[in-house]
Structure 1
């Protein structure tokens, strides 16, 4: 878990330094595609019950207008090199706080770890928790 503070410039945050440090060579099954995307996970129970919102992640920048504290940010970059080899970056961040000039995020290794930490930190930082498995029906939006 790494706590990072990112500056907001013209309502965008830049993740290029994280991508350059943590991109790795990997072998994918099937044909790798040249893609770059981000998603905000607002609610996560299981892979079957997930409330997410895809956002643009062009030039390693994300628009901060849709980002709310408490969401988990998942960033993925896949660049094919040769046949089934590609450069891959997967980043999982919890949005801790957001102000007009900067945003505080925590980086985690996997989505499961990010969601687990988000549940733990929800009371401390005052944002709505992601429900535990089986609690999905208790939320008004999904009744």
Structure 2
């Protein structure tokens, strides 16, 4: 059996293909444990028990690091007298708000209503173009069918 390390291309060895969702939240100790686990996985001589134990340890340290980060963020927001919405922006993943947008005329807008209007115009134009193209295609198909019937 060929070792896992020799099967991977050189670029994949040096660059991780997975992006961690905890970017700045992990401590150096946790990062070292993750590297150790990665090295153990690449070697074929490690036992399943050792791999399982280090995986448990990694997941526990990740969990504690994320909890520490979240409590630190909560304390920071409380100290700055901000509300819960400010905290949600820093801890939640997912969709972000659009703060500024360049409209078709090239102007940079930061007003929420102007941003909404620009986005609405864009999608209205986009879908009317698609609807117009679909009607043209239907019209062409109808003409072809009429010519075949003659």
Query: Shorter-normalised TM-score: what interval?
Result: under 0.3
Relative contact order higher in (CA < 8 Å, ≥ 6 apart): 1
- TM-score norm. by structure 2 comes to 0.25
- TM-score norm. by structure 1 comes to 0.26
Of Structure 1 and Structure 2, the greater strand share is in 1
Of Structure 1 and Structure 2, the greater helix share is in 2
